[in-house]
Amino acid sequence: MQGRRYFARELGVEEQPEVWLPDSFGYTGAFPQLARLAGARWFLSQKMSWNTTNRFPHHTFWWEGIDGSRVFTHFPPADTYGAKLSGEQLAYGVANFADAGPANRSLLPFGYGDGGGGPTREMMETARRVADLEGSPRVVVETPAEFFAAAEAEYPQAPVWSGEMYLEFHRGTYTSQLAMKQGNRRTEHLLREAELWAATAAVRAGADYPYEHLDRLWQDTLLLQFHDILPGSSIAWVHREARDTYRRLAGELEALVGEALAAAAGPGDVEVLANAAPHDRAGVPALAAAVAAVPPGAVAVSREGDAVVLDNGVLRVRVDADGTIGSVRDLVADREVLAPGTSANVLQLHPDQPVRFDAWDVDEFYRHRVREVRSVTALDVDDADPARAEVRVTRHDGDSAYVQTIALAAGERRVDLALDVDWHERETLLKAAFPLAVHAERSTAETQFGHVDRATHTNTSWDAARFEICAHRWLHVAEPGYGVAVVNDSTYGHDVGRPGPGDARGAGATTVRLSLVRAPRYPDPETDQGRHTMRYALVPGAGIDEAVREGYRINLPDRRVRGAGPVEPLVAVEGAVVEAVKLADDRSGDVVVRLYEARGGRSRAVVRPGFACAGASVRDLLEREDPEVAALAPLADAGDGALTLDLGPFQVVTLRLTRA
């Protein structure tokens, strides 16, 4: 949205049918739908030519997203986004074109693009000379839109690539510079809270909505998502600046949230829990504030020899003398969650010395050597709160210190975990391992507005190349009838696999590991040095719904405020997940709700506005009227002020609710 506005404001370009993204380190399967909802139909990249194991099979194709949306896509077969228009590059582009024959057009981005210099006189002269030169492909200088229109018309039956495009390279960027990952994750969720509570305060209490302030904060956040900032592959100065900016953003957003909640709740001394998540929590409705319910039951703490046992009647967790989790018994399902003969929440250290690009890469051979951190300096139990008990394990290893917290809350089917680390290793990768008694053929990882499945085995070279994978708030593994989720507040890198050859322990098991922190030396020799805190959780007996719910919970922690009493939600939604509630950008005061189908199936969503609503419409991502977008999600009146939407798998819908 911000990019489209910039083009319209600064360049006078209202419609942009193509997306130009040459150098991203892989491409989410959610993107085709988002591109189409923003008015784009064509996509260009080049980075998949950097694959180190498998050659991407197409240069011109239809890219199908996780929801079924498609965009016509082209990868320049010259395998560069900064060509010099040399004869060698032209010849290579022709010889390398995987779809040559049915397709006869390819695009060659030229100029000093990696430095912003653009085409030179010499390049333009070369283009003129090879416009019709015997022995050379014919070259035409034209706009991307002209190329794509002709290419699509020529090759409408192009093959289809479905789902994500996983780059077999630069896997270390899921983890490098933890502060960037944490800053981005926290800022994204604070922006969600700020928009929600500011909109609630505006509708419920007549407060001013901070349009300009939020717009500036979004621009600052998006700037920090730029290549190479969020990937963690910039020089030290960039990351120092980014850390300072993230601290400023957090401060400003916390202030906005506090002011909005105070206005919405009104003056008073009633303590309420403000629940910005799209699911009920502690008896408080989604997107509302109310008095929290007292959690049922208590947590019992006992000893089994040197082990500490936490039991809340739902889960029974044993923490062994070495501080690892030796057992998680699901009392609801009556089964052990951990693989036989294994321990969970085990800190593992790997030498991490990639061949080419330190901050960018994690190479497969890192797994050949591993050392577990098992030494215990102290093991302390805190059971002062009957509704929550925790075990704190302090470790010192090498030049680093670790404090792990294992906690169980009353009534919860979830083990809460935290790691405080004072990290001073070099060229080392830290992971946390969870060997699970689940025989999973695939892992399921959250991506934007949905999830993707990946094999847990290495049957093919494509499977083997995914030895490090990306997940957002959660990762889930399951066998028929039972699943387990691992959720996190700041981790993106993961790996999921089976027991190794000859390893009888945990046969039929699946191990999930989180990549917590790295220590590459280039381009920032102090990468990740210092103190960090990460939170994650193990959720036994979880389906996809529970994984989604717990992923939001850990990223939107409890926020308790005092006011006159409960604050009703602006909108109640069943059958879909609400990702955003805000006021419309045109400053009309209308309420915009963005929601999506999260399971990957079909659903009927019921939407109940919590205010006098004079009308509702489906809009595109830029909040514009678009008949094609509206036709994808027809609204129906369900009576009593409610609306229904029939959603397809992972469908994203932006609703505009007009206030009466």
Task: Please state the three-class secondary structure of 187-216 as a single string.
Answer: HHHHHHHHHHHHHHHHHHHCCCCCHHHHHH
CA distance 363 to 361: 6
Among 218, 214, 262, 279, CA closest to 579:
279
Asked whether the beta carbons of 62 and 71 are under 8 A apart, the reply is yes
Among 611, 528, 547, which residue's Cα sits nearest to residue 233? 528
Q: Which amino acid is at 417?
A: L
Ramachandran assignment for 565, one of left (phi > 0), alpha (psi -120 to 50 degrees), beta (any other): left
Catalytic residue among 23, 215, 420, 422: 23
Q: CB neighbours of 207 closer than 8 A, spacing ≥ 6?
A: 198, 201, 260, 263, 264
Q: How far apart are CA 133 and CA 510, in angstroms?
A: 59
- The set of residues, in sequence order, having a beta carbon less than 8 Å from that of 156 and lying 6+ positions away, is none
Distance CA 40, CA 299 (A): 53
**Residue 383, preceding bond cis, omega within 30 degrees?**
no
Distance CA 531, CA 526 (A): 12
306 in Cβ contact with 320 (< 8 Å): yes
Distance from C-alpha of 147 to C-alpha of 332, rounded to nearest angstrom: 59
Return the residue matching tokens 């409408």: 156
Q: Cα 460 from chain centroid?
A: 26
Q: Is 23 a catalytic residue?
A: yes
Q: Quick one: CA dihedral 618, 624, 625, 628, positive or negative?
A: negative
Cα–Cα distance measured from residue 593 to residue 613, given in angstroms and rounded to the nearest whole number: 13
Omega prior to 523 cis, within 30 of 0: yes
Helices (H), 432-543: 461-465
Contact 536, 431 (CB under 8 A): no
307-311 sheet: strands from edge to edge: 300-304, 307-311, 315-319, 325-330, 335-336
Q: Give the integer Cα–Cα distance in Å for 198 and 113.
A: 41
> How far apart, in Å, are the Cα atoms of 160 and each of 48, 70, 144, 517?
16, 9, 21, 37
Rg (CA), the chain: 26
**Nearest to 23, CA basis, from 113, 145, 123, 147:** 113
Residue from 588, 549, 628, 505 nearest 203 by CA? 588
List active site positions. 23
